[in-house]
Amino acid sequence: MKIGIFGLSESGKTTVFQALSGLKIEGQKATEANRAIVKVPDARLEKLNEFYHPQKKVYSTIEYVDMNAGASSKGSGSTLNDQLLGNLRTMDALALVVRAFISMEVAHVKGSIDYLRDVQSMIAELVLSDLSVVEKNLDKVERSLKSEKKQDLLLKKQVLLRCKECLEKEQLLQTITFTPGEQELLTSYQFLTQKPLMIIVNTGEGQDSDKIVKELAPKYSHIHNILVTAICGKLELEIAELPAQEQKEFLQEINVTEPALNRFIAESFRLLGLIVFFTVGEDEVRAWTLPKDSKVLKAAGTIHSDLERGFIRAEVFRYDDLVAVQGAESKLKDTGKIRLEGRDYIVQDGDIITIRFNVKKN
């Protein structure tokens, strides 16, 4: 899962990225993106580690990509250039950083601080970019239709016209529901306004983050795949850079049980519609991610393609049930809490799964 971070110049993208990843970025190159693979903190994995004492515990991960100063193509830093937009198209989800923090040292590219304006203008750029992709492809389809009236071309034209109408009203494509067949025609265009979007308001110390989120969220959260959140990037970066013990003490002092980053990562998960299932054993306990409502056959394939190919059945029990018996798996057997499931079973968040499989060797 890749999340692309973008926004106006000097809105705090790299600060947020560094806070998230703990990576130190020095002297960035304007054209390069910073990439970090971040472990998803999960208290359940820690608990499983205590129960099984495996040699390894493996977290699930999310990749964050800091798109960097690519925004400043025209020298103004206030528009997104084609290369950046192209990179964003390859991401699974987008994270837009907008500045709310006040600082005399850092000038705002637009001359004043107005995060609502910045959100609107950045989203408008995504809409325009998608519109230009739609128009280009409509031209192509119409040219092809002159030589042959194929059914699938006619359908494509219809769907693209619907996209055009939506984008011309400055609405995001994620507000349209497409049939699976229609969606298939659109997937290769990698539309930006179909991707899950996280709006991250970068607040300064002393600013009321909750108030800002409450102000912005109603404008966007009615759209299914948009999530509004606020983070004090600079403070979070300072916290992330503290040694572990000091970090704990500091958080206790300000009465917080975990860094905002953990919440942020959990929100990324929710936005992406991901769930976690576990595999356990003496060698390793491991957290795996899966899109919500996936079948167990897909879970098997996530672990290894052999497990999918040779799938026989899955043994499944709940994390909560295991905790209730303090990790004594044998007790679950006695009480019938270990279920045998077929390939169509829908995996639930927190399932612990063992795949029984058989692959014929040639």
Ligand X SMILES: Nc1nc2c(ncn2[C@@H]2O[C@H](COP(=O)(O)OP(=O)(O)OP(=O)(O)O)[C@@H](O)[C@H]2O)c(=O)[nH]1
Contacting range for Mg ion; rule: CB under 5 A; set: 9-17, 71-79, 197-205, 284-292: 9-17
Residue 4 makes contact with ligand X by CB under 6 A: no
Q: Return the residue of 234, 259, 300, 352 that touches ligand X, per CB under 6 A.
A: 234
Binding mask 284-323 for ligand X (x = CB under 6 A): ----------------------------------------
Contacting range for ligand X; rule: CB under 6 A; set: 66-74, 262-270, 291-299, 328-336: 66-74
331 contact partners, CB below 8 Å, separation of at least 6:
325
Decide if 188 contacts 88 (C-beta within 8 A). no
Binding mask 158-197 for ligand X (x = CB under 6 A): ----------------------------------------
180 contact partners, CB below 8 Å, separation of at least 6:
none
Sign of the CA dihedral 131, 132, 134, 138?
Answer: positive
For the bound state, the minimum distance from the C-beta of residue 120 to ligand X, rounded and expressed in Å, comes to: 18
Residue with tokens 């208290």: 43
Contacting range for Mg ion; rule: CB under 5 A; set: 7-15, 82-90, 104-112, 157-165: 7-15
Residue 101 makes contact with ligand X by CB under 6 A: yes
How far is residue 310's CA from residue 287's CA, in Å, rounded to a whole number?
Answer: 22
Nearest Cα residue to 352 out of 195, 324, 361, 360: 324
232 binds, among Mg ion, ligand X, none (CB under 5 to 8 A by kind): ligand X
- The site for Mg ion, by CB under 5 A, has a size of 2
Contacting range for ligand X; rule: CB under 6 A; set: 98-106, 183-191, 307-315, 334-342: 98-106
Residue 202 makes contact with ligand X by CB under 6 A: yes
Decide if 191 contacts 173 (C-beta within 8 A). yes
Binding site for ligand X (CB under 6 A): 7, 9-15, 68-69, 71, 101, 103, 106, 202, 204, 232-234
Binding site for Mg ion (CB under 5 A): 13-14
